[in-house]
């Protein structure tokens, strides 16, 4: 029998029940789905979706469904099946406040972006956080046997983590891989008789030797009574097609990812992908399934109808010649079929007119990365000249256990040099470095999807250093390690920061880095242009206010903002009437929040805060805030 979790005493829990957990085989990830297992709809907010499984996200595939809450928070969240709490998480990014339930067959359901947990579970997590006033929590709880029955309230919808208010819901197989929730009875809760909609076709031109990406052209769809038509397109060599297509559902304005994509020539299926499940370990391969050159330049998620080397996603049912069209001279009618999980279909037609090409009937390798841009007249820049350092020294120095030497007293001399290129291998640890070997990027084995030829330029001015890579905005499978011995005039600048730079929009994004003893080091998650410059501007802080949260508890909310290096919420502190509390952070609403269970404001309250940005700039103040009851 299941019981509600009691508020803990001395941070202990009673054992409430024991579920027999089956040991499962490494099989088809869908094997555990059964018509005999029914899931409850996990919220009383709505039965409308704002996102579906497999959609494009900033750095991964969407691993569940998002349920609309009409911009509001505080709707009930229910256990979709009987289960025990396997893990909980609390934090300002990603899933925010999240609950992982484990079920008797070893599978999981996940409930994310919650405003808070149900009262007893919330009290338990608060009791842990209040021990040292830590905001973030990532806690394994399976051994505590905290159980819920199907339909029990486990939390309330919110907007913690990424995005506006909604409920993110997942089903994961016993190996913790996400599975499309609409493969279960949950699909019966959603009304959808609308077919997908094609908007654009991307034609990606490929090198005739290794099918390396060269360039692309976009074509808009005409919508007629027979479907969608991209017209006749003339090509002279091999191409890969990609489509911007989305699904619709009844009575909601949202657009969704399609479930299935097929490319057919006459009666031959050349390509077929289906989004049933994938591994989190391969989720970043989204950038290979989506056309990352088009995504980088347009911010639109074109789904490729061909497969490049290194793509390990298990969504491909068929890919003749990897889906590449390398055809003899002639005219070829192509149909592209998009289907949602309810069987609603749309067909888009395109006629490929091939001029002067020779067909290749056996293609088993399509290069992942493009070549560097054509060389242009570049401004000469200064390299840091010292005695050469053996490359194996750089490999050792790139390791995380390095005891960092002090580079602040080393003098550098300058001479004009040009950019340089290097070919990097995916099958070994490799290093891209400047000729003086004072800047090096270590790529661990397996971080690159394919062999990469890359050119690097370092351009230094009085106020910043730019590291430009060509090609840029490329995906990698594992983080690379950036290391740079700073020039003399930058070594003593205490507010230095590292940014990635989007050359297509000239936008910067702060990267957390370790800067000490004249050396800057950071993990980078893509091949991108980098910039080193100072941030001397302290965070902006607005006037604190005392309000009630959705649970009826009093909190102090402080507006904060920093456009350069962001808010360092871990370092920031708030005292209310001399008492510390948990400092939470809402990056969507730009608020720091003082949270302390049992806090009761006085008529006049002294609020002392210290707010830091990512490089240590600080705004501190003590203000009196009146509270009117």
Is 193:344 a contact under the CB 8 Å cutoff? yes
Given phi > 0 = left and psi -120 to 50 = alpha, else beta, which region is 539? beta
- How far apart (Å, rounded) are the C-alpha atoms in residues 367 and 353? 24
- The residue among 168, 171, 174 whose CA lies nearest residue 182 is 171
Q: pLDDT value at position 16?
A: 32
User: Would you identify the CATH topology of the domain 540-626?
Assistant: Immunoglobulin-like (2.60.40)
- CATH code of the domain made up of 49-189: 2.70.70.10
- How far apart (Å, rounded) are the C-alpha atoms in residues 394 and 391? 5
Instruction: Kindly state the tokens that stand for 380.
Output: 């000469």
**Which residues 6+ apart lie within 8 Å of 182 measured at CB?**
52, 53, 65, 190, 341
- The residue among 246, 268, 258 whose CA lies nearest residue 325 is 268
Phi, psi of 142 (to 5 degrees): -55, -40
Q: List 86's β-bridge partners, or say none.
A: none
Preceding peptide of 402 cis, ω within 30°: no
Q: List 466's β-bridge partners, or say none.
A: 459, 531
Number of Cβ within a 10 Å radius of residue 205: 17
- How far apart (Å, rounded) are the C-alpha atoms in residues 194 and 561? 42
- How far apart (Å, rounded) are the C-alpha atoms in residues 453 and 130? 51
Is 323:289 a contact under the CB 8 Å cutoff? no
Report the run of H or E that residue 396 belongs to, with start and end. Answer: helix 391-397
Phi, psi of 231 (to 5 degrees): 75, -155
- Cβ-in-10-Å burial (0-12, 13-18, 19+) of 607 comes to buried
Is 91:587 a contact under the CB 8 Å cutoff? no
Domains 381-534 and 540-626 share a fold: no
**Which residues 6+ apart lie within 8 Å of 122 measured at CB?**
116, 551
Report the predicted TM-score, pTM, of the whole model to 2 decimal places: 0.88
Instruction: Kindly state the tokens that stand for 613.
Output: 């940005």
- How far apart (Å, rounded) are the C-alpha atoms in residues 492 and 483? 17
**Which residues 6+ apart lie within 8 Å of 550 measured at CB?**
73, 74, 115, 116, 156, 158
Instruction: Kindly state the tokens that stand for 597.
Output: 């269970």
Number of Cβ within a 10 Å radius of residue 383: 21
Q: List 67's β-bridge partners, or say none.
A: 49, 167
How would you write 35-81 as a 3-class SS string? CCCCCCCCECCCCCEEECCCCECCCCECCCEEEECCCCCCCEEECCC
What is the 8-class DSSP label of residue 275? -
Q: List 540's β-bridge partners, or say none.
A: 561
- The residue among 621, 617, 592 whose CA lies nearest residue 609 is 621
Is 83:148 a contact under the CB 8 Å cutoff? yes
- Cβ-in-10-Å burial (0-12, 13-18, 19+) of 479 comes to middle
User: Per-10-residue mean pLDDT for the chain, 629 residues long?
Assistant: 40 34 50 88 96 85 94 97 97 96 96 97 96 95 95 97 93 95 96 95 95 96 91 96 95 91 96 94 90 92 96 95 95 97 96 88 94 56 38 42 42 48 93 91 95 93 93 94 95 94 91 94 96 97 96 97 96 97 95 96 97 97 94
- How far apart (Å, rounded) are the C-alpha atoms in residues 6 and 577? 31
Number of Cβ within a 10 Å radius of residue 414: 13
**Which residues 6+ apart lie within 8 Å of 416 measured at CB?**
380, 381, 382, 383
- How far apart (Å, rounded) are the C-alpha atoms in residues 168 and 62? 10
Domain ranges for the chain, please list them.
49-189, 197-354, 381-534, 540-626
CATH architecture of 381-534: Sandwich (2.60)
DSSP string, 305-363: SS--TT---TTEEEEGGGG-B---SEEEEEEEEEE-TTS-EEEEEEEEEE-S----S--
Preceding peptide of 2 cis, ω within 30°: no
Q: Is 395 helix (H, G, I), strand (E, B) or coil?
A: helix
Number of Cβ within a 10 Å radius of residue 362: 6
- Cβ-in-10-Å burial (0-12, 13-18, 19+) of 175 comes to middle
Q: pLDDT value at position 3?
A: 40
- How far apart (Å, rounded) are the C-alpha atoms in residues 455 and 472? 9
Instruction: Kindly state the tokens that stand for 588.
Output: 């969507």
Is 497:510 a contact under the CB 8 Å cutoff? yes
- Residue labelled with tokens 């969240």: 77
């Amino acid at each position: 029998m299941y019981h509600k979790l009691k508020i803990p005493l001395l941070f202990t829990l009673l054992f409430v029940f024991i579920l027999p957990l089956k040991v499962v085989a490494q099989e088809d990830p869908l094997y555990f789905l059964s018509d005999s297992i029914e899931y409850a709809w996990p919220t009383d907010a709505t039965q409308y979706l704002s996102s579906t499984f497999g959609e494009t996200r900033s750095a991964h595939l969407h691993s569940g469904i998002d349920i609309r809450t009409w911009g509001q928070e505080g709707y009930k969240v229910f256990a979709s099946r009987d289960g025990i709490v396997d893990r909980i998480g609390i934090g300002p990014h990603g899933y925010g406040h999240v609950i992982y339930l484990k079920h008797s067959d070893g599978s999981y359901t996940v409930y994310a972006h919650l405003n808070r947990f149900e009262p007893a579970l919330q009290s338990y997590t608060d009791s842990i956080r209040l021990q040292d006033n830590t905001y973030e929590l990532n806690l394994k709880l399976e051994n505590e046997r905290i159980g819920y029955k199907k339909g029990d309230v486990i939390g309330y919808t919110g907007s913690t983590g990424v995005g506006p208010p909604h409920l993110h819901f997942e089903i994961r197989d016993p190996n913790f891989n996400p599975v499309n929730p609409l493969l279960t009875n949950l699909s019966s809760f959603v009304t959808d008789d609308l077919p997908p909609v094609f908007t654009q076709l991307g034609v990606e031109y490929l090198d005739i030797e290794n099918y390396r990406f060269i360039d692309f052209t976009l074509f808009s769809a005409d919508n007629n009574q027979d479907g969608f038509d991209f017209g006749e397109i003339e090509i002279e060599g091999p191409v890969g097609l990609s489509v911007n297509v989305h699904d619709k559902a009844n009575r909601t304005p949202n657009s969704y990812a399609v479930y299935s994509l097929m490319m057919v020539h006459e009666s031959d299926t050349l390509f077929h992908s289906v989004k049933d499940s994938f591994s989190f370990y391969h989720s970043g391969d989204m950038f290979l399934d989506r056309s990352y050159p088009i995504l980088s330049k347009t911010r639109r998620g074109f789904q490729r109808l061909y497969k490049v080397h290194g793509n390990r996603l298990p969504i491909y049912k068929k890919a003749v010649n990897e889906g590449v069209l390398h055809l003899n001279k002639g005219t070829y009618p192509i149909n592209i079929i998009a289907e949602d999980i309810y069987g609603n279909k749309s067909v888009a037609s395109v006629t490929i007119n091939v001029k002067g090409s020779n067909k290749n009937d056996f293609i088993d390798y399509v290069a992942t990365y493009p070549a560097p841009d054509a060389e242009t007249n570049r401004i000469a820049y200064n390299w840091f000249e010292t005695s050469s350092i053996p490359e194996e020294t750089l490999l050792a120095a790139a390791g995380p256990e390095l005891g960092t030497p002090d580079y602040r007293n080393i003098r550098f001399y300058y001479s004009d040099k040009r950019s340089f290129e290097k070919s990097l291998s995916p099958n070994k640890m490799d290093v891209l470095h400047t000729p003086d070997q004072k800047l090096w990027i270590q790529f661990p084995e397996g971080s690159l999807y394919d062999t990469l030829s890359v050119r690097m330029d370092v351009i230094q001015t009085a106020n910043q250093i730019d590291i430009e890579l060509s090609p840029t905005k490329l995906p990698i499978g594992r983080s690379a390690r950036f290391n740079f011995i700073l020039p003399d005039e930058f070594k003593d600048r205490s507010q230095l920061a590292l940014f990635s730079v989007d050359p297509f929009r000239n936008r910067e994004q702060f990267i957390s880095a370790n800067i000490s003893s004249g050396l800057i080091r950071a993990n980078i998650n893509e091949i991108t242009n980098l910039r080193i410059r100072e941030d001397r501007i302290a965070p902006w802080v607005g006037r604190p206010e005392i309000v009630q949260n959705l649970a009826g508890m009093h909190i102090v909310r402080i507006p904060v903002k920093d456009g350069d290096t962001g808010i360092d919420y871990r370092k920031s502190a708030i005292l209310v009437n001399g008492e510390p509390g948990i400092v939470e952070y809402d990056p969507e609403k730009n608020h720091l929040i003082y949270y302390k269970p049992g806090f009761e404001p006085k008529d006049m309250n002294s609020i002392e805060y210290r707010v830091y940005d990512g490089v240590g700039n600080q705004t501190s103040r003590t203000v009196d805030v009146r509270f009117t009851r």
